[in-house]
Structure 1
Amino acid sequence: MKIAVIGGGVVGLSTAVALLRQGIDVQCYEAGEPMGERSAGDTRIFRLAHAFPDMVELAARSRTLFAEWSELAGTPLVEDVGTVVSGAHAAEWATAMATAGAAHEVVEAGSPLLRLPARDFSGPALIDPAGGVIRVDRIRTFLVGAIGTRLRPAHVDAVEETPSGVRVTAGPDASTFDAAVICAGEGTSALIDIPSALEHHLRVSYPIRPGAPEPFQCWITKPADGELGTYQHLAAPGTWAVGGDVDSSLVSWAGGREAAEQASLELLTAYVSEHLPFVEPRPIARVHCTHNPDLEDGLHFVRRGRVLATYGENLMKFAPLLGATLAQAAADGSTPANAGPPRHEATA
């Protein structure tokens, strides 16, 4: 077989590598830097904790595959510091963890089991001991090395079924494949109908104050309505990264990246100053990416003949599982089952 993978983010590269390991001839198209858009940055949060039991189970399977990747890469790809989810949704997520049979514990602020850059916060806290920091920089090196010359630097303009296969058009060139997998992030909606709303998203890193009790656990805050929800983790030694659920009106696509970044920077820095006593409210690094406000945690798949597409948010932690799943489905013509909350049904 000969299969095209459209998109060289972490999911596209994972899929291409899985196909190569099945002995399938694959070409992965990516117009920019590999893992340079939605996969940008050097770190992400891994967690089993989700609101739906099926997502917990899939994350556990992905964690096992990350361990296998780490063996192949010769370096840990997930640092086991644990993840904490605090606030309004902690109990609901704990129920999903219990249903899935995942180890967890629910505690209150001040528990000696918590290692966070703040002592006080809203609501109980769910401790996910299998969580940690995903080392995106190491994954990028591993996947790019594994795919080798099968990565093609080109922008795909169209993916069309023909009597002889799937034609992929990239500029003046067109090639025909037996099947195609589309995992092009924000570019996926131009090739197949899926939710296409976009907004800007910013993650900012701040210095940890000297003498703070590192290493902190990764931390996701989900406070009551009207308060800023955040995700936080150790981006590098002595550096704490913070992103937040900024109001859509401030980070809209139409409003432009500059205004969105400035609004996000101000809100995140104010949050650090008010809530994180172990962190200096002094921005030292930023990571920009795009976000779809119509999607939450979830894995979504749509098939159009011999073309299979996937989309969703927060997919980094599922990368090895998604790659293996998409590779198998592309080879045998199946369509994986969606997971998580029901969402917009994509159409041909």
Structure 2
Amino acid sequence: MSDGVAVVGAGIVGLSTAFALKQRGAKVTLFDPAPPGSGQSAGQSRLFRHAHTDLRLVDFARRSRALWRQWQQDWGIELISDGGAVAIGPAIDQKLETLGGFDDIPVRTLDPDELHQALPILADYRQPAMLDVDGGAIRTLSAIEALSDRLSDELVTDHVLSVRQTSSGTVEVRTGTGCKEFEHVVLCAGRGTAALAHGAGLSIPVEVAAHVRLTFPVRGAAPEHLATFQDGSGAFGETGVYASPYPGNQFYSVGLSDTVEVSDDGSLTNPAELAGLADRTAAYVERALPGLDPRPVEYVHCWVTTLPWGEDGVGVWTAQGISAVVGHNLFKQAPALGEALAEAAVGEGLPDQLRPESRLGHD
């Protein structure tokens, strides 16, 4: 006898999927051996931005932003800050052109004075900058806690060893302490998704790497408003920098886009490179963000799972009774992604753009 829908992984995507299923009246079981949000969703802040190379992903971000806003209203908590999202570097011309095609995504250029107001911790910068007005910092801990509270009865603290289709058309889930059959299983297990999916006959070309981001104190009084930041300019010695404020704007999290390779056996090819990335991040902060104390007070080390077609790529692999989602930079997309995965799990179909052959989020 089948037991509704199982969601494997209680990161932000798994939580969003389980919540969407529960709202639809489905019976849900959410599996994770660790506290919700402690894997690839860890940390106190993420960037919400609309700008992507793929117009379909921009549209997907619009849907997610609307859901973040609805959750914020329904739950009475701040889930995305009001500081906006600042970007600098040569790519902003393309971003402005892309976002200009959406009437409901306010975006504009910033002169140096406006840039300083939005990002007072930044060193003097006189080149073009842009502001995504409805972007901002996702309050990750608030989001994880709010969703977890609404799913406390559905959460099972156990690890999943395998999933497989049965001859009766159900999907068997074997955990550390049990074995159950479900009508559908959604795999949102981060680094573990591809391995579980492989056991069910799905081959996912995911690339796994390790990453580090650091948190730095803001010097002096915390600004009332503080934007998130993407730096692709190279003006301060690095490109591919991202950063976002913590709640209260007293701390700022900064990361470089570079990662450390993982060997076939799952180990880091060179663990010392993580320390090197951390040192480069602190050095960048000293050059580019003088409004921060360059001595980090917190480290977040995590796995990065990317698809071959781009760092923002996302795809959902499906087999009878199974959906497996893989991608990178998914936190901001979690509300809309959870809705789509829930719809597929209850037989309403998966949007074509999420299928791997659509290469959603291609560079």
How does the TM-score come out when normalised to structure 1? 0.90
Change in 2 beyond 3 A, CA 1:118/1:306: same
How far is 1:248 from its partner?
Answer: 4.1
What's 1:25 paired with? 27
1:310 aligns with 2:310: no
Task: State the alpha-carbon separation in 2 of the partners of residues 167 and 236 from structure 1.
Answer: 41
Task: State the alpha-carbon separation in 2 of the partners of residues 86 and 223 from structure 1.
Answer: 6
How far is 1:157 from its partner?
Answer: 1.2
Number of positions where the alignment pairs a residue of Structure 1 with one of Structure 2: 345
What's 1:168 paired with? 173
- 1:129-170 alpha-carbon deviations (Å, 9 max, x no partner): 001111111111111111122111111111111122111111
Match of 2:316 among 286, 296, 301: 301
1:132 aligns with 2:136: yes
- 1:172-209 alpha-carbon deviations (Å, 9 max, x no partner): 52111111111111110101222332221111111112
1:321 aligns with 2:336: yes
Task: State the alpha-carbon separation in 2 of the partners of residues 303 and 9 from structure 1.
Answer: 20
Q: Partner amino acid for 2:131?
A: I
Comparing 327-336 and 110-119, the one that deviates more: 110-119
Task: State the alpha-carbon separation in 2 of the partners of residues 95 and 342 from structure 1.
Answer: 26
Change in 2 beyond 3 A, CA 1:284/1:257: farther
1:230 aligns with 2:235: no
Match of 2:182 among 177, 181, 185: 177
- 1:108-133 alpha-carbon deviations (Å, 9 max, x no partner): 54545752222444853221000111
What's 1:239 paired with? 251
- 1:38-57 alpha-carbon deviations (Å, 9 max, x no partner): 11012111112222222222
Q: RMSD across aligned C-alpha pairs, in angstroms?
A: 2.8
How far is 1:254 from its partner?
Answer: 3.7
1:104 aligns with 2:107: yes
The secondary structure found in structure 1 opposite 2:59 is: helix
What are the equivalent positions in structure 2 for 1:33-52 lying under 5 Å apart? 33-52=35-54
Identity %: 32
What's 2:353 paired with? 338
Task: State the alpha-carbon separation in 2 of the partners of residues 187 and 112 from structure 1.
Answer: 41
Does structure 1 retain, via aligned residues, the 8 Å contact 2:109–2:129? yes
How does the TM-score come out when normalised to structure 2? 0.86
How far is 1:66 from its partner?
Answer: 1.0
Task: State the alpha-carbon separation in 1 of the partners of residues 355 and 319 from structure 2.
Answer: 22
What's 2:200 paired with? none
Does structure 1 retain, via aligned residues, the 8 Å contact 2:316–2:356? no
Task: State the alpha-carbon separation in 2 of the partners of residues 229 and 157 from structure 1.
Answer: 36
Task: State the alpha-carbon separation in 2 of the partners of residues 89 and 51 from structure 1.
Answer: 10
Match of 2:76 among 51, 74, 77: 74
The secondary structure found in structure 2 opposite 1:280 is: coil
How far is 1:224 from its partner?
Answer: 5.0
1:143 aligns with 2:147: yes
Task: State the alpha-carbon separation in 1 of the partners of residues 286 and 28 from structure 2.
Answer: 49
Task: State the alpha-carbon separation in 2 of the partners of residues 180 and 293 from structure 1.
Answer: 22
Does structure 2 retain, via aligned residues, the 8 Å contact 1:199–1:248? yes
How far is 1:72 from its partner?
Answer: 2.8
Task: State the alpha-carbon separation in 2 of the partners of residues 149 and 341 from structure 1.
Answer: 33
